[in-house]
Amino acid sequence: MGSDYISNAISYAMTSPFGVGNAYYHFSKKETYVDSVWGGAFKKETLKKLGGFNENYIKMQDYELNYRLRKMGGKILLSPKIRCNYFVHKSLKDFCKQYFIYGMWKVKGIVDHPDLLAFRHLIPPTFVIVLLFSIILLFFKLKIGVIVPASYIIANLLFSAKISIKKGFKYFIILPVVFAVMNISWGVGFLCGFKKYGIPKINIKIIINSFNNVK
């Protein structure tokens, strides 16, 4: 939840599939099994059996714990009946830093647990790479180079408009910027994670399975 114009826009972006993909705990309104939740509740004996949170993780501790729980045969139930307040950043600079770190630490998790990788994790870094090539291509093949940037802008504006219709048209000005900061900073952070943590082993079969099992 937010408390001013920018933080409200950030909170709306963080509950949109365009911003968080199929991370259902951000926006789902129905009870369903998921791969991870934020602020999960666990039985004490379950946490002991798992060995608790991995204290080597500064970020992504919950996702890594939930991964080990699923590997142990457990299931994670998302219930919209359980409510909590999450206060977002009030500045785009802090928000950018937050998502950059998220993307970088995701690589750490995938290096430690290769089958943690899901299809949605590859979308932001792939977008960043393609966007860079498209910008370069603009100087040589304008009609081809403009395809990716134009497609992203259109999709961004459509999702921003959809939210603004419900939350107020004043947010249509800032939401496209928030989405761009969110998508690009996470993707850049993910790519920088290769330098910090190494290149993870990628199993195509796991990626395909994660695409087919989106929950």
**Mean pLDDT value across residues 105-127:** 88
Distance CA 110, CA 107 (A): 5
**Mean pLDDT value across residues 94-112:** 93
Number of domains in the chain: 1
> At residue 208, does pLDDT exceed 70?
no
pLDDT band with cut points at 50, 70 and 90 for residue 119:
confident
Q: Which of 56-70, 114-128, 173-187 is most confident?
A: 173-187
DSSP lists the bridge partners of residue 61 as: none
Q: What pLDDT shows up at residue 214?
A: 41
**Mean pLDDT value across residues 87-105:** 91
pLDDT band with cut points at 50, 70 and 90 for residue 27:
low
- The boundaries of the domain holding residue 129 are 5-212
Q: Mean pLDDT across the chain, nearest whole number?
A: 85
Q: For the segment 42-93, what is each residue's pLDDT rounded down to a tens digit?
A: 888 888 888 888 888 888 888 889 889 988 888 888 877 777 777 788 899 9
> Per-residue b/e over 140-176, b at no fewer than 16 CB within 10 Å?
eeeeebeebeeebeeebeebbeebbeeeeeebbebbb
Residues 6+ apart with CB under 8 A from 204: none
**Residue 180, token pair as written in the block:** 């761009």
Q: What pLDDT shows up at residue 22?
A: 55
**Residue 121, token pair as written in the block:** 């994790």
Q: Within its chain, how far is the Cα of 158 from the centroid? A: 19
**Residue 6, token pair as written in the block:** 């920018």
Q: What pLDDT shows up at residue 180?
A: 95
Helix (H) or strand (E) segment spanning residue 77: strand 76-78
Distance CA 20, CA 22 (A): 6
Distance CA 22, CA 109 (A): 18
Q: Count of residues for the chain?
A: 215
82, HSE (Cβ side, Cα atoms, 13 Å): 12
**Mean pLDDT value across residues 174-194:** 95
